[in-house]
Chain A
Amino acid sequence: MARRKFEAIGSTADIAFLLLCYFLMTTTMGDQSGLQRRLPPIPDKEQAQDQKVNRRNIIIVRINSADKLFAGSEAMDISMLKDKIKEFLTNPANDPNLPEKEPKEIEGKTYNVSKGVISLQNDRGTSYQAYIAVQNELVKAVNELRDEFAYREFGKKFSRLSEEQQDIVKKAVPQNISEAEPKDTGKK
């Protein structure tokens, strides 16, 4: 009697092993992570004129076909890009050449929200790796600014805030990265 019971359990283990092998073979680990973006809608001709942004509010980050990076008008190494973007978005010295700040009321408090827009341009010959590296630096700059803002206002890191507080921070430090219309900037 006891022996029969023992055998029954043994076969359950075998069946479970088979199932386990089946799942190991047919499935993959979830590895879907990445940088999320929103593409702008196709602009109408009338809209295009409305969207003209003041020159000081825009920084053009360009990657050419040799993966060289230009921010504003100067060539730059990718390691310097983050600080440049942070300076651009915060404008600590109220430089008239850097973006203006607009007081905006969010949830009963007024914050100075930068009107800066980062315009990212690339060439058809730019490698995807370089493009993602630049995208990553831009996101990193915004994330760090959000963290700093969250520390100032709530005394916590951005990721530890509640959802409502995160919304406030997101509005106060917007992530305005525009991916421009593709242009052929490489000389052929």
Chain B
Amino acid sequence: MSKFGSSSNKKEVPQASSNSLSDIVFMLLFFFMVTTQMRETEQKVKVTMPVASEVAKLERKDLSANINIGSPTLQYQAMYGTDARIQLNDSFKTVSDIRDFIAAERDAMSEAERSLMTVNLRVDQDVRMGIVSDVKQELRRCSAPKIMYAARKPAKD
């Protein structure tokens, strides 16, 4: 009894080695580097995507152009009102600006991949279809036929 007691008193609890800490943090770092993407633009319109169970993942993110449609966020409402607006890159635009936007996005891609370009329509669920139809017609005229209606998966299966 005493033997055990004395030996346990003498022994200090070894300090936890922090050598592995940096490894763990690096692993976390790599995880985030791989799974995330750079935030390219500031969201100026509020987009709550509708729910759809049959969504498919966009395979080539680098070959997509984003068009955001929704009502402006609070700080821009004084200037632009609450009506649905189109946001291309970093600013509010109209339907007639889409042609230039698509042309610019095309130029940024390599020759072979231009036909694979997908236009990702990120539209708020409360937007009326009128503005979306206008955008779709304009995209047809610009011959950018591949589109994707961005949607999110329902929370449970």
| Contact status A126-B128, CB under 8 Å | yes
| Contact status A123-B129, CB under 8 Å | yes
| Contact status A23-B52, CB under 8 Å | no
In the bound complex, residues from chain B placing their C-beta under 8 Å from that of A6 are: 18
In the bound complex, residues from chain B placing their C-beta under 8 Å from that of A95 are: none
Kindly state whether residue A73 has any CB partner on chain B within 8 Å: no
In the bound complex, residues from chain A placing their C-beta under 8 Å from that of B37 are: 27-30
- Given A125-B129, A128-B125, A136 contacting B54 (CB threshold 8 A): yes
Kindly state whether residue A39 has any CB partner on chain B within 8 Å: yes
| Contact status B152-A37, CB under 8 Å | no
Kindly state whether residue A122 has any CB partner on chain B within 8 Å: yes
| Contact status A10-B130, CB under 8 Å | no
Scoring B28, B38, B52, B57 by chain A CB atoms within 10 A of each residue's CB, the highest score goes to B52
Tell me the residues in window 49-102 of chain B with beta carbons closer than 8 Å to chain A beta carbons.
49-58, 61, 64
| Contact status A143-B54, CB under 8 Å | yes
Kindly state whether residue B127 has any CB partner on chain A within 8 Å: yes
Kindly state whether residue A34 has any CB partner on chain B within 8 Å: yes
Q: How far in angstroms is the closest Cβ of chain B from A95?
A: 27
| Contact status A24-B32, CB under 8 Å | yes
| Contact status B32-A23, CB under 8 Å | yes
| Contact status B36-A39, CB under 8 Å | no
| Interface of A toward B, CB cutoff 8 Å | 6, 9-10, 12-13, 16-17, 19-20, 23-24, 26-42, 122-129, 131-133, 135-136, 139-140, 143, 179, 182
